[in-house]
Structure 1
Amino acid sequence: MSDTYRALTRKYRPTSFEDIVSQDHVSNTIKNAIKQNRLSHAYMFCGPRGVGKTTMARVLARTINEIDSSIDGESLNQTLNIVEMDAASNNKVDDVHHLRESVRIPPQNGKYKVFIVDEVHMLSKAAFNALLKTLEEPPEHAIFIFATTEPHKVLPTILSRVQRFDFKRISVDEIVQRLRKISLDEDISIDEESLHVIAKKADGALRDALGLMDQAIAFCGDTITHNELLQALNVVGTDRLFEFMECVKDHDADRGLELINTLLQEGYDIQEYLIGLTEHLRNLYIAHETSKLYLVEASEETKKRYQQTAGDFSRDDLMRMLHIISEAQIKLKDASQPRIQFEITLLKLIHMERSEQLSELLAGLQELKKNSGNFVAPSQNGSTQKEVKPEPEEQAEKVSEPVDETESTEENLEPQPLNPSTDSEAVGSDGSSPGPKESEIEVEAEAEVDTQIEEEEDDDFDIGAPALITTLARKARASVQSEKQKQTAPSNGAPTETSSEKDLPEKITTEYVQEIWVEYLESLKGDFPMLLHLQMERTKVKKVKGGELHLECDNSFAQKMLDEQSTDLQFKLKEFTGSVLRFNISVGEIDEKDKPMSVYERFKQIQQKDPIIRDIVEIFGAELEY
């Protein structure tokens, strides 16, 4: 480094059009105008700070007057042919009158007399009006160059008399390339990640980047390390942001609070951290699409890291996080306790449920809504009521089913008092008084079984996994059916072959199972809950292979329910096939029209259906926050 210190912004100010970074559209136009001798009498350079407006004006003045490169840009004002004026401090009418007097004097040497007015928007309205006539019809040797960051404040009458050029922000890659060249010239050792930190901190202004580079050199010396640079510039590094997103991914609130406390103890500004986190989430959102990775302003190593981390979050989740952070930046400005508000915001991100989980929950609720026709809401006294709608065939079957006397309780077997009006019917032909009628015993036994089933289902009822029929209840029903078969047997005692035994095939094929499937589903009624029966009706028979029956259902909820009851369902199917087929249950692909909607699509659908919610959204601007 040189022994005589000079700021990098002054030392490396461009002296030619080729040195100016990222403003080729202006440089090429002016160079062509010089070659063709078509220079305008007035130019206006507009753009953000530090992008080269004043530098471009000085290079133009140097080029058209052929001033030697040994005279730097700051010394140009000392020549008689170039006049620089700061409109921020010389904005009165008298200052413009002095400028008009200077315009009359021709150049002492050279061809043109150039007037550079910086921050021209600071001139008063009277000063602008005083300049109008001179600006419209200046002498042939006079050229005006105005520079401003706020062209909208300049009078339209002034804008109509100049050629306007809009300067653009300098990209991060161009700033990094320029800083890398300067670091080599200055013999400064700096890593690529640090160059990107300085370039992003400069926000498109090369002058700011050179100032930050000067600050880093003063803090770190000839060797600039990444950690020291972050400390010198008080910038939140990407490592800290990736570490926080790990906390969000793992829902680790304790670790997140510890990280927040460390950041605040190290003196990081809350707003600066939220700005950095916003950019970090934006980069993660973009990293989902590999083809759009060029939009991420970072080193190649950091881009790869963004790609790896982006897979942990969906784009919907990242959008919701960006919305939370944006809202927090507004609220923090007026918050009486900024730290508490800051911690609440970051804890929202950590505890936020993922879109996939919300979609699964909505899909499960929608499925439950479709299949919950047998259930009603709790009654006013708080007890859960179940609405049973038996089919007509079931009612007739219940009346005709006999009871298994061996398993009836003593209470059911006690003689029942006869109705006086039916005494004559109750007495047998031999004059003896028999016990209860056969049909009465059947009805009482069936009622007892149904009561037991209802009690156990009510005790075990749960929305996530509806209670199914118990083993005891199934045994009771089986005994009732067994007794029924005994009583319907022929009087001569000869065994009767059931229809299922007569029709049993020699080999169970897929076609056979498909033929008896409807009959099999009908047999499930009464023996199994209606919810399970509905799910079985929506299940498809795929094939029979190697003693396995391959079934396909349309959702994971149904798959779980059928897996839990597969043993009972298999034995029930044995009555039709003669042998047990193991169930192999899978979930088929869902059509696009049947796929569950996202949280936001569901919210839009609710708005369309409910006019009250739609009015709330329109009036108050309601949004899904997290």
Structure 2
Amino acid sequence: MEHFVVSARKYRPQSFKDVVGQQAITNTLLNAIENNHLAQALLFTGPRGVGKTSCARILAKMINSDGNDTDEDFAFNIFELDAASNNSVDDIRNLTDQVRIPPQVGKYKVYIIDEVHMLSQAAFNAFLKTLEEPPKHCIFILATTEKHKIIPTILSRCQIFDFKRITVTDAKAYLKYIAEEQGITAEDDALHIIAQKADGAMRDALSIFDRVVSFSGKNLTRKAVTENLNVLDYETYFETTDLILENNIPKLLLLFNNTLSKGFDGHHYISGLASHFRDLLVSKTENTIELLEVGEQTKVKYLEQSRKASRDFLIQGINLANDCDLKYKSSKNQRLLVELCLMQLASITFDGEKKNSRHYIIPASYFKNKGITPVAVTNSKIEDNSNTKTSINEGNESAKEAISSKEAENIKAFKAVTPPKIILKQDTKRTSGLSLSSLKAKKAHQIKQMNVIIDEEDLPQEAFTEQELVAQWNTYIEKIQKEGKRNLASILSIDTPKVIDTTIHLEFPNATNKVEVERNQYDLLAFIRKSLNNFDINLSITVNEVMEKQYAYTTLEKFEKLKEKNPNIELLRKTFNLDV
């Protein structure tokens, strides 16, 4: 079996033109060599895998190179020291002893000290004098990922070059070049995901590339990359956003559960969703589309979905997702936190009713009602369980005769349970909940919401007697007494309801009783209408102040009432000298 060389070693840059994403630094070093303006102590600093050591080796080779590729004797003048394993004072003293010896071939001896931040404090101090005044034939190149750990006296003696992270675009372009070199067919989105996963490190990108190629072979697809790297695909977030915009909470929660079952972390999911909303917001303006670091095919999808979502929704969505992201680590029930966030996101664009809170969630009853499909019954058609359809035409007697008695019962039963069709009239005025006036406004808003426009054709209007009404009236009083509404029950017991046509007439001794009943008339009428199967029933309330005298409220009034019924009570009071 042929020995395999990993891409990070196989494609290590051999010249400055091969270095990816560090053009400013490589140009500076080239000009310094050409103009003989190179410092004797250089410090290369930056994240891992961005080309620090590679640039140091290329620079060391170019310093002594005379342009003849066959002559590599200058390589004997390049010394590499790993400060991670040679970090003692003795190691630095050995180095300073070697520095004094001039090169046998070429002009310079180059010392590359990698991971220089690992040197001990004593080693740094021992290295100070040599670094400040090195021999003319010696050049030091220091490399580190953690510049802040190097003492200031060392930093002040070096010319510092800050290497930047490799951009996703540059990393993807280099991966595409390598894929072509190896005869591998790679999707643009697949290479983009690898470049993103590398997080600015070219060496990591090449390692991931090798791993994915081993998994999928010569055909590198987006699906294969996401499956192998176990990263959340763009499609997951596109589907999530579509469900959020459709206000489909049940499917949204199932999608999140499916994501968790694949081994993904809820924190990664919600932070990725916030980033997805950010990318959609960026896609809404032509000037900011270049900030979208995705492949061309995915960019088209972002542009399409950004047209569906409004700016207000995206900004509010980013705030909610970011808030969930911040609270995630401190939450004791992290899954519930994300699920609540998803439900709030799906409720942003829901316009079914007035929402006074940013934490509003669509009630579960909405989806329950939405999922029920009643048997279709109209004035012209009926469909029973046997899937037989019979046309009904009120002007056609023969068609009426064709309807079976069972079907007629079905129509009657359906009308009995069909609730009245209502049109909600919503008040857009917002009120505070901290004052009496606001409480009145809220009550008025609820009353306005209950204003109904009844479709007479679809509602039952069965006849009823006054005795049936009184029976249902008393049933309602018992019902609200059990619910704790004793004051309302007491008021409804003052007068026995009387019926004229379909209007219930009540008479109360004062306006306070009338107002209390009117506040609760919609629940009362809904109960009575449904119980008597007649949706034409209305309520009429009058105030008769003469009635008020019939009711005793104070202790004296109660005594006077009792004395009218039995005069001997006064004799009893006087005999025992009782107080009223």
Normalising by structure 1, report the TM-score.
0.56
d(CA) in 2 for partners of 1:334 and 1:82? 52
2:348 aligns with: 354
2:12 aligns with: 13
d(CA) in 2 for partners of 1:232 and 1:45? 34
d(CA) in 2 for partners of 1:351 and 1:101? 69
Identity over aligned residues, as a percent? 41
Q: Is the 8 A contact 2:102 2:137 kept in 1?
A: yes
126 and 242 in structure 1: CA distance in 2 versus 1, 3 angstrom threshold: same
d(CA) in 2 for partners of 1:459 and 1:270? 46
Aligned CA-pair RMSD: 4.1
Q: Is the 8 A contact 1:316 1:355 kept in 2?
A: no
CA-CA distance at 1:115 after TM superposition: 0.8
1:193 aligns with: 189
CA-CA distance at 1:343 after TM superposition: 4.6
CA-CA distance at 1:360 after TM superposition: 7.3
d(CA) in 1 for partners of 2:327 and 2:513? 59
**Could you report, residue by residue, the CA deviation over 1:522-564 in whole angstroms, capped at 9, with x for unpaired residues?**
xxxxxxxxxxxxxxxxxxxxxxxxxxxxxxxxxxxxxxxxxxx
Alignment of 1:133-152 (within 5 A): 133-152=129-148
10 and 377 in structure 1: CA distance in 2 versus 1, 3 angstrom threshold: closer
SS of 1:80's partner is helix
d(CA) in 1 for partners of 2:20 and 2:353? 49
Normalising by structure 2, report the TM-score.
0.60
d(CA) in 2 for partners of 1:108 and 1:114? 13
| 1:81 equivalenced with 2:77 (yes/no) | yes
205 and 377 in structure 1: CA distance in 2 versus 1, 3 angstrom threshold: closer
365 and 89 in structure 1: CA distance in 2 versus 1, 3 angstrom threshold: farther
CA-CA distance at 1:106 after TM superposition: 1.6
CA-CA distance at 1:460 after TM superposition: 6.7
Give the aligned length. 396
Structure 2 residues without counterparts, runs of 5 or longer:
358-425, 448-508, 524-537, 540-580
What code does the residue aligned with 1:84 have?
Answer: E
What code does the residue aligned with 1:341 have?
Answer: Q
Alignment of 1:284-299 (within 5 A): 284-299=280-295
Q: Is the 8 A contact 1:257 1:343 kept in 2?
A: no
Alignment of 1:24-63 (within 5 A): 24-63=23-62
**Could you report, residue by residue, the CA deviation over 1:572-604 in whole angstroms, capped at 9, with x for unpaired residues?**
xxxxxxxxxxxxxxxxxxxxxxxxxxxxxxxxx
SS of 1:198's partner is helix
d(CA) in 1 for partners of 2:439 and 2:59? 82
2:167 aligns with: 171
1:125 aligns with: 121
CA-CA distance at 1:197 after TM superposition: 0.6
1:342 aligns with: 335
| 1:367 equivalenced with 2:429 (yes/no) | yes
CA-CA distance at 1:314 after TM superposition: 3.7
SS of 2:76's partner is coil
SS of 1:45's partner is strand
Q: Is the 8 A contact 2:117 2:146 kept in 1?
A: yes
d(CA) in 2 for partners of 1:360 and 1:329? 28
d(CA) in 2 for partners of 1:66 and 1:103? 20
SS of 1:146's partner is strand
d(CA) in 2 for partners of 1:70 and 1:270? 55
SS of 1:311's partner is helix
2:296 aligns with: 300
**Could you report, residue by residue, the CA deviation over 1:60-100 in whole angstroms, capped at 9, with x for unpaired residues?**
011112188989xxx99x94311111222222211111111
What code does the residue aligned with 1:109 have?
Answer: V
d(CA) in 2 for partners of 1:358 and 1:135? 74
Q: Is the 8 A contact 2:252 2:342 kept in 1?
A: no
| 1:208 equivalenced with 2:197 (yes/no) | no
What code does the residue aligned with 1:367 have?
Answer: K
CA-CA distance at 1:359 after TM superposition: 12
d(CA) in 1 for partners of 2:162 and 2:19? 15
d(CA) in 1 for partners of 2:270 and 2:43? 37
**Could you report, residue by residue, the CA deviation over 1:318-343 in whole angstroms, capped at 9, with x for unpaired residues?**
3443344444445444556xxx5135
d(CA) in 2 for partners of 1:285 and 1:195? 24
CA-CA distance at 1:307 after TM superposition: 2.0
Equivalent residue for 1:322, pick from 307, 318, 326: 318
What code does the residue aligned with 1:29 have?
Answer: T
d(CA) in 1 for partners of 2:335 and 2:268? 12
d(CA) in 1 for partners of 2:273 and 2:298? 15
What code does the residue aligned with 1:285 have?
Answer: L
113 and 311 in structure 1: CA distance in 2 versus 1, 3 angstrom threshold: same
Q: Is the 8 A contact 2:328 2:337 kept in 1?
A: no
| 1:257 equivalenced with 2:286 (yes/no) | no
**Could you report, residue by residue, the CA deviation over 1:462-504 in whole angstroms, capped at 9, with x for unpaired residues?**
9xxxxxxxxx99xxxxxxxxxxxxxxxxxxxxxxxxxxxxxxx
Q: Is the 8 A contact 1:49 1:205 kept in 2?
A: yes
What code does the residue aligned with 2:45 have?
Answer: C
SS of 1:63's partner is helix
2:104 aligns with: 108
d(CA) in 1 for partners of 2:88 and 2:430? 77
Q: Is the 8 A contact 1:328 1:342 kept in 2?
A: no
102 and 278 in structure 1: CA distance in 2 versus 1, 3 angstrom threshold: farther
2:155 aligns with: 159
Q: Is the 8 A contact 1:17 1:27 kept in 2?
A: yes
378 and 135 in structure 1: CA distance in 2 versus 1, 3 angstrom threshold: same
351 and 362 in structure 1: CA distance in 2 versus 1, 3 angstrom threshold: closer
2:274 aligns with: 278
Alignment of 1:423-462 (within 5 A): 458=519
47 and 316 in structure 1: CA distance in 2 versus 1, 3 angstrom threshold: farther
CA-CA distance at 1:221 after TM superposition: 1.1
Q: Is the 8 A contact 2:50 2:203 kept in 1?
A: yes
What code does the residue aligned with 2:257 have?
Answer: N
Q: Is the 8 A contact 2:247 2:350 kept in 1?
A: no
d(CA) in 2 for partners of 1:203 and 1:47? 13
d(CA) in 1 for partners of 2:436 and 2:123? 85
1:548 aligns with: none
350 and 289 in structure 1: CA distance in 2 versus 1, 3 angstrom threshold: farther
457 and 174 in structure 1: CA distance in 2 versus 1, 3 angstrom threshold: same
356 and 153 in structure 1: CA distance in 2 versus 1, 3 angstrom threshold: farther
Q: Is the 8 A contact 1:172 1:297 kept in 2?
A: yes
d(CA) in 1 for partners of 2:86 and 2:67? 29
d(CA) in 2 for partners of 1:458 and 1:312? 43
Q: Is the 8 A contact 2:431 2:438 kept in 1?
A: no
96 and 199 in structure 1: CA distance in 2 versus 1, 3 angstrom threshold: same
d(CA) in 1 for partners of 2:68 and 2:255? 53
d(CA) in 1 for partners of 2:69 and 2:79? 19
CA-CA distance at 1:180 after TM superposition: 0.6
What code does the residue aligned with 1:53 have?
Answer: K
Q: Is the 8 A contact 1:253 1:351 kept in 2?
A: no
Q: Is the 8 A contact 1:120 1:147 kept in 2?
A: yes
| 1:244 equivalenced with 2:243 (yes/no) | no
